[in-house]
Chains A and B, each alone.
Chain A
Amino acid sequence: MRSTDRILLTLSAAAMLALCYLVFLYIPLEKTQGYIQKIFYIHVPCAWVGFVAFTVTAIMGGRYLATRDPDHDRWAAASAEIGIVFTTLVLITGPMWARPVWGIWWTWDIRLTSTLVLWLIYLAYLILRQTVAERDRRSVLAAVTGIIGWLGVPIVYLGNRVRASQHPAPVVGGGEDSGLAPIFLATLLVGVFSLTVFYIVLLRARVRGARLEDAIEELQIAEGRDHA
């Protein structure tokens, strides 16, 4: 763990502590949902990080296709894996909110469905990576899949306008009635900051690991060549 990572990790942890203070001790109760609404401040940052992570995967995939730098592929793969972790957390925290509020764990609402679809797309991306043995080929196929998969996201969200949604409307930039009181918005942003910084720490760690594993693979191939 390098010093940059230590600083980032400290920042993230400090923001997480601040978030907990704000959520559990400071901010007033939301009127309609009461205490349960506090889940929002961790659920939304997880969704945000998931979306950012998959976007990074698509961008790094594009850069890989342009440059053929294996490092770009490592960033793409690492980001997809972390995106899956955070999207899984969205799919866990969401139902934990829905159960007390809606009385059900899950509903086939468009926003829930689209998050699930996004999760499945990048799960397929990771499975594809596991099942293509040759490295250059794997990188190219993964890059194409990462880009095409990402294109599906806005289209899924367009379905939102057609089908009615039970999911609470986006509170930031979601239309006429949206908008949060400043203190709620500030709390949300603290959560987003904490998890985004944590995402960067995870990303850097995952890429370092991938570089080492690739170096080992290269050495083993060289070894095999020497013995042959």
Chain B
Amino acid sequence: MPDHFWWVFAVYGVVWVAIILYLARLSARQAEAERQLEILRSERNGA
């Protein structure tokens, strides 16, 4: 391994982890919103 390989790899790793976690968070938020919207709509139709 060349000098600083792991350091440089860590920099790339920070970027990968950050953007993938962010995308995951967005997807989770969207799924949650969809679920909530479904509940609200069914309540509204039922009432």
Residues of A within 8 A of B (CB): 1, 16, 20, 23-24, 34-36, 38-39, 42-43, 46, 82, 85, 88-89, 92-93, 96-97, 100, 195, 198, 201-202, 205-206, 208-209, 212-213, 215-216, 219-220, 222-223, 226
Contact = CB atoms under 8 A, between A and B. Distances in A.
Interface residues of B, number: 30
A209 B29 contact: yes
B19 A216 contact: no
A216 B33 contact: yes
A96 B11 contact: yes
Contacts of A24: 5, 9
Contacts of B2: 35
Interface of B: 2-5, 7-12, 14-16, 18-19, 22-23, 26-27, 29-30, 33-34, 36-37, 40-41, 43-44, 47
Contact of B40 (A100, A198, A220): A220
Contacts of A208: 30
From DSSP, what is the main secondary structure of chain A's interface residues?
helix
A117 B41 CA distance: 44
Contact of A212 (B7, B12, B37): B37
A42 B14 CA distance: 10
Contacts of A85: 18-19, 22
